[in-house]
Every structure is written in C-alpha cells, then in structure tokens.
Structure 1
Amino acid sequence: MPGNPRRTTLATVAASAGVSVTTVSKVLNGRRDVAPGTRSLVQSLLLEHGYVPRSARREHADSPGTVQLWVDELCAYSTEIIKGAIEAGEESGVAVVVGPTKDPAGGGATWAHDLVAAGCRALITLTSEPTSAQLAVLSRVRLPVVVIDPLNLPDTPVTSVGATNFAGGLSATQHLLALGHRRIAYLGGPATTAINQARMHGFRAAMEAAGVPVPAEYIRNVGFCYPHGLQEGAALLDLDPAPTAIFAAGEESALGAIQAARARGLRIPEDLSVVGFDDTELAVMTSPPLTTVRQPLRQMGAVALRTALRLAAGEKIESRHIELATELVVRGSTLAA
C-alpha cells in the first residue's frame, strides 16, 4: 500500500469538478443554493478522492480511535487471533471493532470514508485479502492495512503477519518420519493458496531429504475445514496401500481425517497417526489430543494490531511481511509405526 499520499483538499475536488472551492464548501455544509446536478457531481468526487472534512479529523485527532478487524468466519482459529488483537488494543488504549468484511461493490469509496470519519485509525483483515480496488480506496483516505495469515499475498504491496508455514510442514513430517512412518499422506488446503503451498513444500522437503517417495495419490489439496478432512481422509484411507500417517495442514481437516479413520474401525494412533496445524483449543479437546504444529495465534493478532498502529502513526516498519515461528507440539495422536 503506498505510503503517505498527499491529503485531498477542497481545491483538488473543485478542480476535478470544474467548480469553485466555495461551491464544494457549500455542498459539504449542506447548503441548498447548489444545483442538484452539481451537488451530485461534487459528492461523487469527494468520495472518489477520499476527502475527510477537517472537522472530522479534528474531532478524532486527540482521541485514541479504533482499529477495524474484518473477519468473515468465527471459529477456534480466528477467535484466538481476535483475542490477541483485542488484548494488544487494550494495552495501546484503542478499541478493536470486529465485523465482517465490507463489500463496497457499487458503493464507491463511501465505506472507507465512513471508517475514517468515525475515527478508525487502521484496518486489519483476517485470512481474506483486500482487493486492489479496496487498497486503492484505503490509500486515498490514508487508512493503513495489515493482513493476518493471508491465503495469498496481494499483488499490491501490503503489510501482512503470518507464521513459518514451510518450517511447520517440515517439522510435522520429520516427526512422522522419526517415528518410522514411510507411507505418509498430505491433506492440504486449496491447491493454489500460498500458505498451503508453503506447508506442502515443507512436507515434500522432509520426504525428499529422507529418500521417501510420495505417490501422487497421497497428496490431497482441497480445503482446511472439517468436511474436507472427512471426505479426503476417507479417500486416502481407501487407497491400497493406505497411508499409516497423515499430515493435515489444518486442524479441522485433521479432525475430519480422524473421524474418517474411526468410521473404518481404525484406531488413533495405533493404526493411523495424524498431525494437524494451528493448535487451538480443539487440539486438546479431541481424543486422543492432537499432535499439531502450533501457530502463535494470539501473538499474530497482537503483532498485527501493533504494526497497524505504527503505520497509522507514520512510522517505518522493518518488513512488509512478518513471520512468527511455529512449533511442533507432540500429543497422543501419533505413535511409532
């Protein structure tokens, strides 16, 4: 996202509309002595340029303001990240407002203009990436954006916070190899997403280093959710020979694979070892507790919040993409082959 664009002035809007600054001022102040067509044109250009009235800027200049956190799905994973962002917000004296991603289709720049006018200092999005059009609008209103755990990094430069996905995939697979497993399958997320590719490359790197071939049918890239794990886990276990271990690149998909195994009369971990990825409360609630790659989810939320505030304050940050270390947590779902 471009840094510190020049603030839009009334003169800028007036020049674009081909009217005087006085006319633009009348529109802003709700005066009636402006022709309807001119009023409509000026209002459209105010939104297009992301103009924020000085009164709104003064109103929020000395207040701590808010940070918007857009999230489309509440689950154990997203809840942990939200908790981290809220805790960091309390420490920094700002409120974190959680809500669904805005869909500005057909709405021009109104949504971004309203955020700034309401005192929003920065925007954080979780897993979903803002579009280039959204980023352009946010840049015009000088609202910084931080993306948490993006499935894909946007083409437009944007600051993001994630985890060491490659290292996580590597450590999960090395753990299964150390237990003597050789028929190890990978149950991944959407094939083209960056985080899935990183976790899968970590898996392949460990298998290649150990000299263990991976049959094509042992790689399943569909999704990170429970139904995906249930469906694709069943497909893996119906193979001949079936894998003795599964590395699932999502925690919910790991639980789906466990259920698919139990439906076939298999025991976990005696007949099938399973490793997940995330380490939310679900990992310790399942039976047996899940061996998993821990993402520091609360820390990711906190780092995103602090980074967003630094950007809002005009500070320079060291890196556009911040990666926090993952850690393998061994529990009861894995056993020696």
Structure 2
Amino acid sequence: MRNGQRTTLAHVAERAGTTVPTVSKVLSGRSDVSSQTRSRVMRAVAELDYRGRSGKGTARGRTPSLVDLVLSGVEGTWANRALSGVERAAAGAGVDIVVSVARDQPGDAWLTRLLDRDLRGAVLALVDTTPAQLATLAAANVPIVLLDPVTQPPGSVASVGASNWAGGRAAAEHLIALGHRDLAVIGGSRRHLYSQARIDGFRSAAAEAGITLAEGRVLHTDWHRFSAADAATALLSAEDRPTAVFACSDNMALGVYDAAEALGLRLPDDLSVIGFDDLPECQWVRPALTTVRQPIAEMGEAALRMLLRIIADPPRTAPREELATTLITRGSTTEP
C-alpha cells in the first residue's frame, strides 16, 4: 500500500526511474532489459512491497502441469537426492518439473529464465536468494518454497528444512558419551543458516557437559573437501590437537579424513570424525563415517507437496516444515 492506496506498476516504475512497460518486462522475465534497470526495478518492487494482481497462477483447487526446481548446483549426491524426492512427489501428483541451476550465473539469470517460462510455482533448493529476488517472485505471482534455506527466510516465504540444531547437538552428545572432551568443529560459511544451527546445537551440548569450544577450535570453510582438509590440517598439526572433529557436512568430513591420512593419524584410534548429511559416500570410505542423517529426499518430497498445496489454496501465513535428523553410528568414532 502507498498513501492508503494499492501499489501499482506505475508506482514501481516511478521509484525505479523507468516505464510501466519496462517493469512489466522484468516481472515477466523478458531478456531485453539491461541488468542495471532490472536491478532498479527489483529493488523498487521490494521497497514498495508490490504484489501483482492475482490471475497468473493455476485456478484454485487445480493442480498445475508444470513447476520449476531451481538447484544451486547439480554436482554431488545432495542434489541428486533432493531431485529424486521432488520428482517422486511430482510424479505422484501428475506434475512435470523443469530443473534449473542458479549457481555461477551472472546477476539474476536464473530468475529471468524462471519468470519467462511462466511457470505456476517453484522449489528453490539451497539457492541463496536476495530480498529483491523474493519480492520479484511475489510480485510476479510465482509461489515458491525454499528447500533448506541458506539464510533466514522472511515470514512470508514458505520453507522446508531439517532439524539442524538438534543434529549438531546429537553429534556432540555422541562424542561426549564416548569420553571426548577435546572437541573441534569445521563448519561452512558463517552466514549460512544451517551451518550456524549445527554449530550452535553442538556448542549447546558441549556447554552442558562443561566443555568450552575456543574460537580456534571452530573453523569455517566454503563447504569444499579440499578446504576442509586445509582447516583440519591446521587443527591436527597442533601439539594439543583435538581427539574428535565434527564436520558440518559429509563432504567436509572426508576432507578431515584426507588431512588425518596425510599426517599419519589413524581413524578412529587417533581421531574420531563425525559428519552431517549421510550421503552414500559415508559408507564407501574406511572406516565408514559416523554422521547425522539429513532426510534430503524426504525434504524434497515435502517441499513439492507444500508448493502444490500453496498453489491450490494460498494460506494466510507461509507454512514451515522441519524434518527430524538422526544420528547414524559407524566406524569413525570411538573412545579417545
């Protein structure tokens, strides 16, 4: 609303310093708009909280024939599991999916393509969305569900995630029950919601056991195996090295394996390692990795089903679902 009146395309155009047809092009995914103008329009949409007129979406109560799955990347088994879950739910509902990749693309290319396809809704998996992008999708009447949101979503955006805090806590409780007191954590980006939740849960259990994690024992990387190996090498090369390491993803846990092997440390005799995700790779390595299972495929199914419910009957408040994590004990952890 603006001055008691409904915000219109004209208001957005005025704020962005452009024309109504140009604003309409941005919201419909047309490519014949400069990136600078597109950014100004998207910012104006967010600032004015513009919402397009309803009517683009599927009629209430009807199931769309096509929805979009936007992935941050397709490498690795996380993406494959998420895709399998979304596809399974879509097949059960008689819906086809289009897969897009948002990573390593200039500006808002993935968003422009999504809007241009005139789809009826989208699941965004591990996509680091900006407020302007979310506002643009809302203005274009494209219902979305965030699958494992990277940052805290606004209250108006639906999401499906996992109990990351509880999973991190379970990892610490397992190591503490084995007798470990000298603990370390390798997390992902500091700004990623799920990484911080896992670390916070781990810290909570450690604090209850009277264990303080010094700053030097909580390291952050970019989620890559080789980066985690570098961080673990620094931890494990110290004279007072930890007896156990919690890595906030299985991929990073494998980096800890690499560092331990390079330093001549035996797993789990010299070092216990626990990961997070329970990807197939966990059972390929020796010793098999103790980890926290994240129900990735089930999360994908839940996200697609949630999207279809939103399309058929838009709720007044955005729904949120959090699926439970489970500790899976294997051979990489033992008494110190």
TM-score, with length taken from structure 1 = 0.80
- Match in the other structure for 2:22: 44
Tell me the distance in 2 between the aligned counterparts of 1:159 and 1:151: 13
Equivalent pair of 2:57/2:142 in contact (CA under 8 Å)? no
Residues 279-318 of structure 1 correspond to what in structure 2 (within 5 A)? Answer: 279-316=278-315
1:25-64 deviation digits (Å, cap 9, x = unpaired): xxxxxxxxxxxxxxx9664253256589x9x9799x9784
SS in 1 for 2:156: coil
Tell me the distance in 1 between the aligned counterparts of 2:163 and 2:313: 27
Residues 1-337 of structure 1 correspond to what in structure 2 (within 5 A)? Answer: 43-48=21-26, 50=28, 64-74=64-74, 75-101=76-102, 105=107, 111-116=113-118, 120-155=119-154, 157-316=156-315, 320-337=319-336
Tell me the distance in 2 between the aligned counterparts of 1:15 and 1:274: 56
Equivalent pair of 1:69/1:99 in contact (CA under 8 Å)? yes
Equivalent pair of 1:186/1:248 in contact (CA under 8 Å)? yes
Summarize the Cα distance change of 1:217–1:93 in structure 2 as closer, same or farther, 3 Å threshold. same
Tell me the distance in 2 between the aligned counterparts of 1:146 and 1:126: 9
SS in 1 for 2:120: strand
Equivalent pair of 1:311/1:317 in contact (CA under 8 Å)? no
Equivalent pair of 1:129/1:147 in contact (CA under 8 Å)? no
Equivalent pair of 1:47/1:109 in contact (CA under 8 Å)? no
Equivalent pair of 1:13/1:45 in contact (CA under 8 Å)? yes
Summarize the Cα distance change of 1:41–1:216 in structure 2 as closer, same or farther, 3 Å threshold. closer
Given residue 239 of structure 1, which amino acid in structure 2 is its aligned partner?
A
- Match in the other structure for 1:27: none
1:94-148 deviation digits (Å, cap 9, x = unpaired): 11211112868488985454222xxx22111111232222222211221111111
Tell me the distance in 2 between the aligned counterparts of 1:264 and 1:251: 20
Structure 1, unmatched stretches of 5+, are: 1-5, 18-39
After TM superposition, give the deviation of residue 324 of structure 1 in Å: 0.5
Equivalent pair of 2:164/2:197 in contact (CA under 8 Å)? yes
Given residue 169 of structure 1, which amino acid in structure 2 is its aligned partner?
G
Tell me the distance in 2 between the aligned counterparts of 1:206 and 1:58: 47
Q: Indicate the larger mover: 189-198 or 42-51.
A: 42-51
SS in 2 for 1:208: helix
Given residue 115 of structure 1, which amino acid in structure 2 is its aligned partner?
R
1:217-242 deviation digits (Å, cap 9, x = unpaired): 11112232211221111111012210
Whichever of the two has the greater Rg, that structure is 1
After TM superposition, give the deviation of residue 321 of structure 1 in Å: 2.6
Tell me the distance in 2 between the aligned counterparts of 1:57 and 1:214: 50
RMSD (Å), alpha carbons? 3.2
1:277-300 deviation digits (Å, cap 9, x = unpaired): 000111111111110000001000
Summarize the Cα distance change of 1:107–1:43 in structure 2 as closer, same or farther, 3 Å threshold. farther
Given residue 286 of structure 1, which amino acid in structure 2 is its aligned partner?
V
SS in 2 for 1:142: coil
Summarize the Cα distance change of 1:222–1:42 in structure 2 as closer, same or farther, 3 Å threshold. closer
Summarize the Cα distance change of 1:62–1:145 in structure 2 as closer, same or farther, 3 Å threshold. closer
Summarize the Cα distance change of 1:156–1:115 in structure 2 as closer, same or farther, 3 Å threshold. farther
- Match in the other structure for 1:29: none
Matched positions, count: 301
Given residue 46 of structure 1, which amino acid in structure 2 is its aligned partner?
S
Equivalent pair of 1:222/1:228 in contact (CA under 8 Å)? yes
Structure 2, unmatched stretches of 5+, are: 1-5, 29-51
Q: Indicate the larger mover: 107-116 or 203-212.
A: 107-116
Q: Indicate the larger mover: 146-155 or 225-234.
A: 146-155
Tell me the distance in 1 between the aligned counterparts of 2:113 and 2:146: 18
1:254-285 deviation digits (Å, cap 9, x = unpaired): 00001100111111111110000000111111
